[in-house]
């Protein structure tokens, strides 16, 4: 075995998702030699753009919306480099809206005064509820974003919190954390008298991997309200894959390398230190400084470290790591731009179709019990409303997401769809559920089914095949309830992004600050190592 000083690279990064790209870019810019190893045939992890349905229709296959990234410290540091390599964002001043199956609708703006008027029109107390939500985040921005953008189990973070207590006082600090642990359902109930106002924000909690009745979801709801107003709903011009291309250019221009179609089989550990990796097929690659793994805890401890002695309490915690509800996506190529029941929704890029808090909780309960929801929340993305280059002239695409689904299906809450005895997602089950979604959407998009040129449905099983980190179709790579969040993400038995193995770091959606396209874990580790 060669000495580390002979290693061709300083750092090897396993995976090329947003956190890997951010981490590797920060390291490469600092002068480090970085190598990315990606098991898929293309870089980007959950960021990929393909002509999935028909030629000329560019679909963001998995993720596609970037408000978290443009608000992140990673973007703040790397934006100039990325834009110099072709990255361009399209945005809007009406980022999101909601419509009920009965046709009631509400649209959110990036203009605070306009939003205040919109909410006040539903009753003065609703305007006050909205204003209190966004201003509370503004007033606590240093504390909220300071914790999200920091390693939590660190002396510097303890000092940061101590200074916050000194500035705010003990009572105000305790009040902040008490309110932060509240539920979205309680926040909405106490802040808005209008069911429509509640329905605007409630579905967004699904995008955090939480339920409206989970602890912490109230603060996350307010944070989302603030983020939507601040960042809008940016999409990458030409498709999200152009973000990956910009990152690739930045990394390669700084001496880094990205190898796709390269599966890491094992992490090499010697003298309790990570030394390199072994690829499927047996080739060994070495790193002189560290290995950074963008994988789930299951992948890390049960597969990549399967031949390494791991402390029992860490192995036990990894074995008990939970994955959340499943996700389905439906991609539609349309022969023309559809008309919503409220035509003002035609230009809104992200719309939720829902009856509100109760139906969301009902659907979550159904999914948790193993049943297909009868009134699912439908996330409708219209990227072409921002970026006409995604479609041929006169055509349209829709990006549909369903986040309230079981991994193993026991039955149908509506008693209509036949479920295989195995409970597995097969083609028949996948397409039958997609039919339910199209029927539901047709209530608010009249004539939708007649406009469909082609549809591609990705079941939970299909999503896991596309990306191994989407275990059972969980888009957030792990349950995000409080015991697997913040201080306790990914494991109670590990500290921050460290592992029991020296020079081995763990990043990705399974780690703090959690899922989404913010690149937070990659940035934290990249800055710590550079």
Are 525 and 497 within 8 A, CB to CB?
A: yes
Distance CA 139, CA 98 (A): 27
| Three-state secondary-structure class, residue 32 | coil
The whole-angstrom distance between residue 286's C-alpha and the CA centroid of its chain comes to 31
Quick one: tokens of 195?
A: 């069911």
Nearest of 354, 264, 359, 267 to residue 309 by alpha carbon: 267
- What's the CATH code, domain 4-47+65-89+238-321+478-529? 3.50.50.60
Query: What is the reported pLDDT for 499?
Result: 97
Specify the residue for token string 């049943």. 371
Which residue(s) pair with 8 in the sheet?
A: none
Element (H, E) at 160: helix 155-168
Going edge to edge, which strands form the sheet with 378-381?
A: 105-108, 96-99, 350-353, 378-381, 396-405, 326-334, 452-458
Count each helix (H run) and each strand (E run) in the chain, helices first: 19, 20
Quick one: tokens of 212?
A: 């409206």
Distance CA 25, CA 249 (A): 10
Neighbours of 426 (CB within 10 A): 15
| b/e 98-115 (16+ beta carbons within 10 angstroms → b) | bbbbeebbbbbbbeeeeb
Quick one: tokens of 37?
A: 């190893």
Quick one: tokens of 524?
A: 């934290």
Question: What DSSP string describes 311-332?
Answer: -HHHHHHHHT-----EEEEEEE
Query: What is the reported pLDDT for 6?
Result: 56
Residue 25 phi/psi, 5-degree rounding, is: -65, -45
Per residue, what are the HEC states of 445-465?
Answer: CCCHHHHEEEEEEECHHHHHH
Per residue, what are the HEC states of 40-53?
Answer: CCCCCCCCCEECCC
Are 384 and 347 within 8 A, CB to CB?
A: no
Neighbours of 300 (CB within 10 A): 25
Residue 497 phi/psi, 5-degree rounding, is: -105, 15
Specify the residue for token string 């959950």. 46
Distance CA 153, CA 76 (A): 24
- CB neighbour class for 309 (10 Å; exposed up to 12, middle 13-18, buried from 19): exposed
- Model pTM score: 0.95
The whole-angstrom distance between residue 387's C-alpha and the CA centroid of its chain comes to 21
Are 11 and 257 within 8 A, CB to CB?
A: no
Q: Which CATH number fits domain 322-466: 3.30.750, 3.30.1340, 3.30.70, 3.90.660?
A: 3.90.660
Distance CA 110, CA 207 (A): 19
Question: Which whole-number Å values give the CA distances from 30 to 9, 50, 404, 522, in the listed order?
Answer: 14, 33, 42, 15
Nearest of 463, 457, 472, 468 to residue 427 by alpha carbon: 457
Element (H, E) at 73: helix 73-84
Rg of the chain on CA atoms, in Å = 23
| Three-state secondary-structure class, residue 294 | strand
Query: What is the reported pLDDT for 4?
Result: 46
Domain range list for the chain: 4-47+65-89+238-321+478-529, 111-231, 322-466
Are 322 and 313 within 8 A, CB to CB?
A: no
Per-residue pLDDT of the chain in tens (530 residues, 90 and over written 9): 333 445 789 999 999 999 999 999 999 999 999 999 999 999 999 999 999 999 999 999 999 999 999 999 999 999 999 999 999 999 999 999 999 999 999 999 999 999 999 999 999 899 999 999 999 999 999 999 999 999 999 999 999 999 999 999 999 999 999 999 999 999 999 999 999 999 999 999 999 999 999 999 999 999 999 999 999 999 999 999 999 999 999 999 999 999 999 999 999 999 999 999 999 999 999 999 999 999 999 999 999 999 999 999 999 999 999 999 999 999 999 999 999 999 999 999 999 999 999 999 999 999 999 999 999 999 999 999 999 999 999 999 999 999 999 999 999 999 999 999 999 999 999 999 999 999 999 999 999 999 999 999 999 999 999 999 999 999 999 999 999 999 999 999 999 999 999 999 999 999 999 999 999 999 999 999 99
Are 380 and 441 within 8 A, CB to CB?
A: yes
């Amino acid at each position: 075995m060669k000495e580390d000083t002979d290693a061709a690279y300083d750092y090897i990064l396993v995976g090329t998702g947003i956190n890997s790209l951010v981490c590797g870019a920060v390291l490469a810019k600092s002068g480090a030699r970085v190598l990315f190893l990606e098991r898929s045939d293309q870089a980007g992890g959950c960021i990929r753009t393909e002509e999935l349905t028909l030629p000329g229709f560019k679909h963001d296959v998995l993720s596609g919306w970037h408000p978290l990234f443009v608000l992140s410290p990673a973007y703040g540091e790397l934006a100039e480099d990325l834009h110099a390599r072709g990255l361009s964002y399209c945005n809007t001043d009406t980022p999101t809206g909601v419509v009920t199956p009965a046709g009631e609708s509400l649209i959110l703006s990036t203009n605070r005064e306009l939003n205040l008027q919109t909410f006040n029109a539903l009753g003065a107390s609703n305007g006050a509820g909205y204003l209190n939500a966004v201003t509370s985040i503004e007033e606590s921005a240093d504390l909220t974003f300071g914790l999200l953008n920091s390693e939590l189990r660190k002396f510097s973070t303890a000092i940061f919190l101590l200074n916050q207590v000194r500035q705010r006082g003990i009572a105000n600090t305790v009040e902040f954390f008490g309110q932060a642990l509240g539920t979205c359902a309680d926040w909405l109930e106490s802040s808005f008298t209008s069911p429509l106002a509640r329905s605007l924000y409630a579905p967004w909690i699904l995008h955090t991997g939480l339920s409206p009745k989970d602890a912490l979801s109230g603060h996350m709801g307010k944070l989302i309200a603030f983020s939507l107003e601040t960042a809008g709903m940016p999409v990458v011009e030409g498709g999200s894959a152009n973000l990956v291309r910009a990152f690739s250019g930045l990394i390669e221009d700084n001496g880094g390398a990205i190898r796709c179609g390269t599966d890491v089989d094992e992490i090499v550990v010697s003298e309790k230190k990570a030394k390199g990796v072994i690829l499927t097929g047996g080739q060994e690659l070495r790193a002189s400084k560290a290995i950074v793994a963008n994988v789930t805890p299951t992948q890390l401890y049960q597969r990549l470290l399967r031949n390494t002695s791991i402390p029992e309490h860490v192995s036990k915690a990894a074995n008990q790591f939970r994955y959340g509800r499943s996700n389905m996506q439906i991609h539609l190529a349309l022969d023309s731009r559809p008309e919503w029941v409220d035509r003002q929704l035609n230009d809104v890029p992200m719309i939720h179709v829902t009856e509100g808090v109760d139906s969301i909780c009902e659907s979550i309960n159904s999914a948790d019990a193993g049943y297909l929801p009868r009134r699912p929340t439908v996330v409708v993305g219209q990227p072409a409303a921002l970026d006409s280059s995604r479609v041929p002239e006169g055509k349209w695409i829709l990006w549909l997401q369903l986040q309230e689904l079981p991994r193993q299906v026991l039955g149908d809450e509506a008693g209509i769809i036949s479920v295989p005895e195995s409970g597995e997602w097969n083609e028949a089950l996948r397409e039958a559920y997609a039919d339910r979604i199209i029927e539901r959407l047709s209530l608010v998009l009249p004539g939708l089914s007649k406009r469909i040129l082609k549809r591609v449905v990705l079941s939970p099983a299909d999503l896991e095949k596309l990306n191994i980190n989407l275990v059972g179709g969980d888009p957030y790579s792990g349950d995000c309830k409080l015991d697997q969040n913040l201080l306790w993400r990914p494991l109670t038995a590990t500290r921050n992004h460290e592992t029991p193995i020296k020079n081995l770091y763990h990043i990705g959606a399974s780690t703090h600050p959690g899922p989404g396209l913010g690149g937070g874990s990659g940035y934290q580790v990249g800055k710590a190592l550079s």
